[in-house]
Amino acid sequence: MLLLKAGVRKRRKTGEKKAASKRQQTRAAIVEEALRIASAEGLAAVTIGRLASELKMSKSGLFAHFRSKEALELETVALARTVFAAQVLIPAEATRPGLENLWNLCHFWLEHIEEHVFRGAYFFAGAFFEHARKGGAVGREIRRAVKEWLDALQGAMKEAQRRKELDREADAEQTAFDLNGLLLGVYWARLMGQWGALDQARDKVLGKFRALATEEVPAKAFRSVGAFRRYLKEKHA
């Protein structure tokens, strides 16, 4: 009898684990679909009804996973942050600190646009414009994500200044805003039909570096993007 009861408990636990795993998979699928919609049409386009239709679920079944639209939006923003970090912040962080890190932050940002990591326009640009001045948890999380990106740029800039690669008198915070504005600007130009805008973006970033560079970085490094990459490679050979 004891063995029988133990077997029942074991099967019950196994069944509970499978049910929990299925709930997690369903929840993840919902958030992924929400991000797919939001990255193309904005968070406002993410509704329980829309998701239920896209995923062929009942509204009540889908609602049971989140209980509120805010909870769904928060998980969507969290997933977007995870994707952005994996595509931009983490790869850049793995490179050498200073000017190389600053370059790679910009490079990987452009690369994630070129590879259409997000389905539509850059997710956080649209979400920021929509929620920057709003209160609430969603607005706070979006501002936090944008600040994380700007802090990464500013931190890399300060390290490049500490290493005497870039002018120590330059305002690191303003430079971070300038670089972010440059990147967004070339992407907007691309969306407006200037097809070569993204191709020229790295040259524009290099031009910004050239204007701030010290004698520590040889002038020949700024002749082209290729020359700059060779300089970085040779510097650490």
Enumerate the domain spans of the chain. 69-235
The answer to whether 76 and 46 have CB atoms below 8 angstroms apart is yes
Please enumerate in sequence order all residues whose Cβ is within 8 A of that of 56, keeping only pairs 6 or more positions apart, or say none.
Answer: none
Return the percentage of the chain with pLDDT > 70, whole number: 90
Least confident of 53-62, 99-108, 198-207: 53-62
Task: Give dist(CA 38, CA 126) in Å, integer.
Answer: 9
Highest mean pLDDT among 8-12, 115-119, 167-171: 167-171
Instruction: Pick 203 or 3 by higher pLDDT.
Output: 203
Q: Would the pLDDT of 216 be above 50? A: yes
Find the farthest-apart pair of alpha carbons in the chain and give their distance in angstroms, rounded: 84
Confidence bin at 108 (pLDDT 50/70/90): very high
Q: Residues 125-176: pLDDT tens digits? A: 778 888 878 888 999 999 999 999 999 999 999 999 999 999 999 999 999 9
The answer to whether 74 and 138 have CB atoms below 8 angstroms apart is yes
The pLDDT score that the predictor gives to residue 16 is: 47
The answer to whether 75 and 66 have CB atoms below 8 angstroms apart is yes
Which residue, among 112, 105, 111, has the nearest Cα to 209 in the 3D structure?
A: 105
DSSP code for 179: H
Residue that has been written with the tokens 């063995």 in this structure? 3
Q: Would the pLDDT of 29 be above 50? A: yes
Q: What is the fold, at CATH topology level, of the domain defined by 69-235?
A: Tetracycline Repressor; domain 2 (1.10.357)
Instruction: Pick 236 or 103 by higher pLDDT.
Output: 103
For residue 48, give the 3-state DSSP assignment.
helix
Residue that has been written with the tokens 């389905």 in this structure? 119
